[in-house]
Amino acid sequence: MRFKHLPTINAKQTLIEVEGLASSATILHLTDAHLNETDIRKDKTIFMNSIKDYGFDALETRKQFETALTDANEKRYDFVVLTGDIINGATAGNLDYLETKLQELRSPYLYTLGNHDWEYPLQPWNEATRAEQYPKFNSFTNDSPAYQASLFNGINLLTIDNSTYQITKEQLHFTKKQLANGLPTLLFIHIPIYIPGLLPDVMKQWGAPIMMAAEGWDKSLQSQWKVAETTAETTAFYHLLLNNPHHNLIGIFCGHVHFAHTDAFGKGSYQYVTSPGFAGGYRLIHLLPKT
Ligand SMILES: [Fe+2]
């Protein structure tokens, strides 16, 4: 398969030529809106125990999110993909708001979770809490919060929830199977895959290598961040993406670290980290037929 990543002059635009596309298309990638819409009528206890706002202004984050969705409708973008931390906690208020806003979208969309989507007051941040919170996201994820695939314009759009920094056996199996179908594929995840070239900026911003399969963790810092040792499945997933055995993984799109970054990755792929929605960030992925 032939595809080509073309250079662009700003981080909000990505241009990729793909052989065999019937027509050009634009996907809006949104990540890290960090919305706080807690409804005190429904969430009194939760409100009292507080979902942290992490310093994000609720009115501002809402304004940025609604502007992006309105733009998607007005410009008639073909698809929208949301890659996590769209809300801070699956409170009733946040979920109601999300449902209302996503229902207003004219285009199809995919949603994968970030570590803040499923956090919950008084609950520990771990896989058990994620599993408990997962059903709340069924309506946004086609009843499959852990992984999804959607065929769009001849391109396979995959989402994998890697928001615990790990990949499950089922997710690994799913990804292998999807890549083996040979279709041109875009992968959407929350946490960036470790790339040495991304490390300095991540360290500068966070003081810790908060990427999937990252190298260079200080052990006590790793435990503070609650990041477990990379599992065998996560390592296998990392090598699968890196080796790109069917030459059809075109790009990886993610967020989490709250700045934009572009890097070549593995055999022919690129990893695009998109700037956060709370600060007006987004990425338009333009797919063009390759002549
Ligand atoms: Fe975030």
Task: Please give the backbone phi and psi of residue 242, each rounded to the nearest 5 degrees, phi first.
Answer: -65, -40
Cα 76 to ligand 1 centre (Å): 26
How close is the Cα of 219 to the center of ligand 1, in Å? 23
Beta strand residue intervals within the chain, DSSP E: 3-6, 13-19, 25-30, 79-82, 109-111, 147-152, 155-160, 185-188, 249-254, 261-265, 269-273, 283-290
Q: How much distance in Å is there from the Cα of 177 to the middle of ligand 1?
A: 29
Calculate helix-pair angle for 169-180, 232-243, nearest 10 degrees. 20
Total length of the chain:
291
Q: Minimal CA–CA distance to 252: which of 216, 200, 211, 209?
A: 211
Residue 275 Cα to ligand 1 middle (Å): 10
- How confident is the model at residue 289, as a pLDDT? 94
- Distant-in-sequence contacts of 240-247, Cβ < 8 A, 24+ apart: 240/172, 240/175, 240/176, 240/179, 241/187, 241/193, 241/265, 241/266, 241/269, 242/266, 242/267, 243/267, 244/268, 244/269, 245/179, 246/179, 246/180, 246/182, 247/1
Sign of CA dihedral 43, 45, 51, 52: positive
Percent of the chain at pLDDT > 90 equals 83
| pLDDT at position 226 over 70 | yes
For residue 143, how far is its CA from the centre of ligand 1 (angstroms)?
23
Question: If you measure from the C-alpha of residue 116 to the centroid of ligand 1, how many angstroms do you get, rounded to a whole number?
Answer: 7
pLDDT digits (tens, 9 = 90+) for 46-70: 666 656 667 778 888 999 999 999 9
Distance 71 CA to ligand 1 centre (A): 22
Instruction: Give me ligand 1 centre to Cα 289, in Å.
Output: 33
> What is the Å distance from ligand 1's center to 227 Cα?
16
Whole-angstrom Cα Rg for the chain: 18
pLDDT for the residue numbered 109:
98
Higher pLDDT, 179 or 40: 179
Q: Determine the distance separating the centroid of ligand 1 and the alpha carbon of 247, expressed in angstroms.
A: 30
Task: Give the Cα separation of 178 and 162 in Å (integer).
Answer: 17
Q: What is the mean pLDDT of residues 26-37?
A: 94
Q: What is the mean pLDDT of residues 205-224?
A: 94
State in Å: Cα 2 to ligand 1 middle.
Answer: 33
Q: What is the pTM of this model?
A: 0.96
Look over the chain and give the mean of its residue pLDDT values, rounded to a whole number: 93
Cα of 43 vs centre of ligand 1, distance in Å, is 23
Confidence of residue 250 (pLDDT cuts 50, 70, 90): very high
- 261 CA to centre of ligand 1 in angstroms: 15
Q: How close is the Cα of 44 to the center of ligand 1, in Å?
A: 25
Q: Which amino acid is at 33?
A: A
What distance in angstroms lies between residue 109's CA and the mean position of ligand 1's atoms?
A: 19
Residue owning tokens 């993610």:
254
Q: What is the pLDDT of residue 25?
A: 96
For 103, residues 6+ apart whose C-beta sits below 8 A from its C-beta are: none
- Please tell me the distance between residue 89's alpha carbon and the centre of ligand 1 in angstroms: 12
Ligand 1 center to residue 246 CA distance, Å? 31
Structure tokens at 140: 């946004």
- Which pLDDT score, from 0 to 100, does residue 47 have? 64
**In percent, how much of the chain has pLDDT > 70?**
95
Q: pLDDT, tens digit, for every residue of 130-185?
A: 999 999 999 999 999 999 999 999 999 999 999 999 999 999 999 999 999 999 99
Domains and CATH numbers, the chain: 3-290 (3.60.21.10)
Among 1-10, 154-163, 226-235, 266-275, the range scoring the smallest mean pLDDT is 1-10
Q: How far is the CA of 34 from the centre of ligand 1 (A)?
A: 7
Instruction: Give the SS3 label for residue 30.
Output: strand
Q: What is the pLDDT of residue 53?
A: 67
Taking residues 63-87, report their average pLDDT.
Answer: 97
User: Looking at residue 124, what DSSP letter applies?
Assistant: -
